[in-house]
Amino acid sequence: MNPPATPAAVTAHHHTPPQGFLRKHVFSLDHKVIGKQYLDLALVAVCTGMLLSWLMRFHLAWPETPIPGLAKLSPNGAAGGVITPEYYLALMTMHGTIMVFFVLTTAPFAGFGNYFLPIHVGAEDMAFPRINMMSFWVTLVAFLVLVSGFFVGDGPPLSGWTAYAPLSAVGKDAGPGQGVGQTLWAVSITLFCVAQLLGALNFITTTLDLRTKGMSLARMPYSTWAWFITSVIGLIAFAVLMPACILLILDRVAGTSFFIPAGLVISDRLQPHAGGSPLLWQHLFWFFGHPEVYIAILPGFGIVSHILPVFARKPLLGPRVLIACLVAIAFLSYTVWGHHMFLSGMNPFSATLFSVPTLIITIPATIVTLLWIGTIYGARLRFTTPALFCLGFVSVFVSGGISGFFLAQPSIDTYLHGTYFVVGHFHFVMGVAAMFGIFAATYFWAPKMFGRMMSETLGKWHFWLTFVGVYCVFMPMHYLGLAGNVRRYSAFTDDYLKPLIPLHRFITIAALFTGAAQLIFLFNLIRSRFRGPRAPDNPWEATSLEWSTTSPPPFDNFGGRPPVVERGPNEYGVGSGARGADYLMQAAAAPPGVH
Amino acid sequence: MGKLFAVVLTIITVVSTAFFAARTWWLPVDISAHGHAIDRQLMETMVSSGVLFVLSQLALAVFVWRYGDRDDGRRVRTFPGGVTPMVLFATVLVGAEILALTFVGSKVWAGIYQTPADPGSLQIDVQSEQFAFYFRYAGADGAFGATHPELINEANENYFGLDPAHDVSARDDIVVPTLTVPVNRPVALTLRAKDVSHAFYVPELRIQQDFVPGLAIPLHFTATRTGKYEIVCTQLCGLGHYNMRAFIEVVSPAQFDQWLKDKAAQQ
């Protein structure tokens, strides 16, 4: 399909917004509303996930101290306010699942991607608006199904976000939380996969088919490039996880044995299964699971590459190299899943095989990092809140990436596997870095999405407290790992772990403070959404198409007149260098009729 | 603001690195024959990636300090040499590090996991279950009895599912909850799981391996220092995971022989 170019086609495509409340705000087909719905869902999810991590951290530091009010919320899991071992594991499982799926996938990819990808390419909407709406509502149902696990009879699931079989597959015999709760987990993830597959198809089709006149692939903004590549990764990854989850459900409810071998005795009962393989689940899960890490972080790469030049007031260094690196990372992400399984009992020869591409993936990642640092060289940096979060992103991504050097080597993984070193590593590199990308995107695009500016003062307080806070939380986890501190323990009763408890207390205090600092963000976001000063069309003096339209954009994004693109998004630092004249918009002039 | 960022980032970098350099929290003493190779590999990785960590954080700090917008009409500048030398530099530098680490590291790994155990190794069978480890020695006949999952019975302490009534070699098998091994003698474990996945991890031994239901996984090591150390589970196995542990006692060969005799007499 070619983008409309003739005036007749323009008129034909001029859509009027729906009038009813439900169609406008709830069951909307508008990608902008759907994008905001995804972001709101991610906000609810991230608050839930963080609350769970607070409970876990508090319990680890002071295992005997009752938590006020918790006994009322969960009379079984925390009788008297003290978290039981099984409830701790359930909190951990829910924290991981909610954060990875419903925050790190929905916010940077489905949320911002939905809102801005069509605008970035000059389209009126996604290619398939109904599928887009369905994708969001299925995600919401998936979230509700997951959270309902907290309220079922035998408790929430406790086998971790990785749900290793056979613990996750054999059902109630395996202990509390392995009954209905675990089935709900598998159903939720199956639904989530369906939603993401629909979303990925939509992103890919929109990028390839709905670009406006002059918007060649090479002229697309880097965030849109990242969303496009992420969709391709997602299309393959979720297509593997979905059947894996269906097989898991069948093992649980239909008596099949995909992941359960013969001869298991659980709760003194010989299990009626034979012929399955626990390693098969691990292979299927991590074949999805490692690309999922890149689904979480590549949008962050795109967001930083998009935003950094805006505030550096100079072009991104090596844009073609950046895109080549993103493609290389996407490809390599499918060759490294076995590095999660070095010690899993698979053939040890394959550990070396999986180690090499894992180490090779650091080359494109290093190049991208150097491109950002090289972009800052000679810049005229404007230290707005989104700029600070981009700089913070680079720093925490480096910190998290470096520890990957250790874990990528089977010989060192022999010691560090299953310790807090791994926890520190993945929280920095995919948790904190991706969150910094989300924060940068929120401060950067909130004016466009809500037509209101966020408070810079509050934003900067939020940045400084968070930046220092995350280092206090996650850097010490590397020290714990070096000392052999095992992860996924609800209490540290081993002799060699007891001396490490003071460091755990420090981490907990830092986590409580850093978490509390997020209330500043929440307050800022909600207040500015309704009370912030009106945003101009292009407050940051940026080049991409969303800044050529109004804040917020009209229903069909460009007032029925698709923009004509004349150049790429990287035209900063041109002209005299005086403020206001050092950049060139992608669309030469704002389309008439918008203002 | 740029200077503040540079200062804060420098402090973070220095403090983070200092705790690594001072080894405030560090690996416990190494008691295995292969551990020094792992420790050396870890140290080499620590130094090389530590240098990369400090250099990249400081480069970020310096550039942010230096290139704030002072609104002085100064024109922006491109990175000297542009992108090509940077890409070559990163590829060569990181590529060389990867090659070096892989060549040495894969030998270390192969030495532990890809070589068969010494034929003279002490053979021990390990059963893992929610939430305990059990260890089986072959007894006087030097042969293990066959295992039958349907015979596993906690109440009768038949953790491996042995059938002494029909199986002669099972009769003298010694089953204990603590792993006792002689110092400086190769030990070959066979890891089995009764119910779900578990893992065998002894930080001092620098060794870790999952138990997988349905598989009998070989693992071998030589302990080089006597003492009592903890074996912990590192694979999430249910509510008692945090409490799943056993001890490994490394004793002199004479003590070991005596211990084995005492245990055999108790069977």
Which one of A414, A423, A503 would you mutate to disrupt binding with B, by most B Cβ within 10 Å of its Cβ?
A414
Burial degree of A34 (CB within 10 A; 0-12, 13-18, 19+): buried
The closest alpha carbon to A579, from A540, A534, A537, belongs to: A540
Total domain count, chain B: 2
Do residues B131 and B72 both lie within one domain?
Answer: no
pLDDT above 60: residue A7 = no
Burial degree of A152 (CB within 10 A; 0-12, 13-18, 19+): middle
Local confidence band at B71 (pLDDT 50, 70, 90 cut-offs)? confident
B/e letters for B86-115, b = 16+ CB within 10 Å, e = fewer, are bbeebeeebeebbeebbebbbebbbebbee
Residues of chain A with pLDDT > 70: what percent? 95
Cis? peptide before B131, omega within 30° of 0:
yes
The residue from B96, B114, B132 where one domain ends is B114
Which residues does A289 contact at the CB level (< 8 Å), separation at least 6? A162, A241, A337, A340
DSSP codes of every residue in A121-147? TT-SS-S-HHHHHHHHHHHHHHHHHHH
List Cα–Cα distances, A277 to A151, A244, B211, B241, in angstroms: 31, 12, 13, 22
Cβ within 8 Å, pair A265-B5: no
- Using the Cβ of A292 and the Cβ atoms of chain B, whether some distance falls under 8 Å is answered with no
- pLDDT confidence of residue A2: 47
- Give the phi and the psi of residue A162 in degrees, each rounded to 5: -90, -15
Cβ within 8 Å, pair B78-A317: yes
- Using the Cβ of A432 and the Cβ atoms of chain B, whether some distance falls under 8 Å is answered with no
CA distance B88 to chain A (A): 9
Cβ within 8 Å, pair A383-B154: no
Do residues B50 and B167 both lie within one domain?
Answer: no
Burial degree of A143 (CB within 10 A; 0-12, 13-18, 19+): buried
- Using the Cβ of A574 and the Cβ atoms of chain B, whether some distance falls under 8 Å is answered with no
Cβ within 8 Å, pair B196-A266: yes
- Give the phi and the psi of residue B137 in degrees, each rounded to 5: -105, 150
C-alpha span between A244 and B225 (Å, rounded): 45
What residues of chain B lie within 8 A of the CB of A265, using their CB? 129, 149, 152, 161, 194-195
Tracing tokens 């230096």 back to the chain, one arrives at B66
How many other CB atoms sit within 10 Å of the CB of residue B49? 19
- pLDDT confidence of residue B149: 93
Cβ within 8 Å, pair A367-B234: no
Local confidence band at A74 (pLDDT 50, 70, 90 cut-offs)? confident
CA distance A361 to chain B (A): 10
- pLDDT confidence of residue A75: 84
- pLDDT confidence of residue A18: 83
pLDDT in tens, A540-556: 999 999 999 999 999 99
Do residues B91 and B205 both lie within one domain?
Answer: no
Do residues B198 and B67 both lie within one domain?
Answer: no
Cβ within 8 Å, pair B76-A312: yes
Do residues B134 and B259 both lie within one domain?
Answer: yes
- Using the Cβ of B101 and the Cβ atoms of chain A, whether some distance falls under 8 Å is answered with yes
* ipTM of the prediction greater than 0.95, yes or no: yes
Do residues B96 and B175 both lie within one domain?
Answer: no
- Using the Cβ of B120 and the Cβ atoms of chain A, whether some distance falls under 8 Å is answered with no
- Using the Cβ of A347 and the Cβ atoms of chain B, whether some distance falls under 8 Å is answered with no
Do residues B162 and B261 both lie within one domain?
Answer: yes
Which one of B196, B211, B229, B243 would you mutate to disrupt binding with A, by most A Cβ within 10 Å of its Cβ?
B196
CA distance B33 to chain A (A): 14
Q: Which of A345, A398, A479 sits opposite B24 (nearest CB)?
A: A479
What single DSSP character describes residue A377?
A: T
Cβ within 8 Å, pair A360-B52: no
C-alpha span between A347 and A353 (Å, rounded): 11
Instruction: Tell me the average pLDDT of chain A.
Output: 93
Q: What CATH number does the domain containing B137 carry?
A: 2.60.40.420
Cβ within 8 Å, pair B234-A264: no
Beta strands B186-193; B179-182: pairing state: unpaired
Do residues B80 and B163 both lie within one domain?
Answer: no
pLDDT above 90: residue A576 = no
- pLDDT confidence of residue A4: 46
User: A63-77, A239-253, B179-193: which has the minimum mean pLDDT?
Assistant: A63-77
- Using the Cβ of A494 and the Cβ atoms of chain B, whether some distance falls under 8 Å is answered with yes
DSSP codes of every residue in B221-237? EEB-S-EEEEEE--S--
What residues of chain A lie within 8 A of the CB of B215, using their CB? 261, 279, 345
The closest alpha carbon to A284, from A196, A192, A162, belongs to: A162
Cis? peptide before A552, omega within 30° of 0:
yes
pLDDT in tens, B150-162: 999 999 999 999 9
- Using the Cβ of A495 and the Cβ atoms of chain B, whether some distance falls under 8 Å is answered with yes
Nearest CA in chain B to A280: B212
Do residues B60 and B150 both lie within one domain?
Answer: no
What residues of chain B lie within 8 A of the CB of A344, using their CB? 210, 212
Do residues B61 and B127 both lie within one domain?
Answer: no
Could you list the residue range(s) of the whole structural domain that residue B63 is in? 2-114
Do residues B91 and B213 both lie within one domain?
Answer: no
List Cα–Cα distances, B182 to A73, B248, B255, in angstroms: 52, 10, 8
Nearest CA in chain A to B51: A402
Local confidence band at A337 (pLDDT 50, 70, 90 cut-offs)? very high
Do residues B158 and B216 both lie within one domain?
Answer: yes
The residue from B63, B95, B114 where one domain ends is B114
- pLDDT confidence of residue A582: 85
List A residues 171-200 in contact with B (Cβ-Cβ < 8 A): 174-178
Q: Which of A175, A356, A382 sits opposite B239 (nearest CB)?
A: A175
pLDDT in tens, A113-125: 999 999 999 999 9
Nearest CA in chain B to A60: B242
- pLDDT confidence of residue A345: 93
Q: Are A587 and A544 in contact (CB under 8 A)?
A: no
Q: Are A323 and A222 in contact (CB under 8 A)?
A: yes
Q: Which of B28, B50, B196 sits opposite A496 (nearest CB)?
A: B28
Count CB pairs under 8 A between chains A and B. Answer: 328
What residues of chain A lie within 8 A of the CB of B214, using their CB? 261-264, 276-278
Which one of B5, B228, B239 would you mutate to disrupt binding with A, by most A Cβ within 10 Å of its Cβ?
B239
Cβ within 8 Å, pair B214-A262: yes
- Using the Cβ of A205 and the Cβ atoms of chain B, whether some distance falls under 8 Å is answered with no
Q: Which of A343, A351, A383 sits opposite B2 (nearest CB)?
A: A383
pTM: 0.95
The residue from B72, B88, B114 where one domain ends is B114
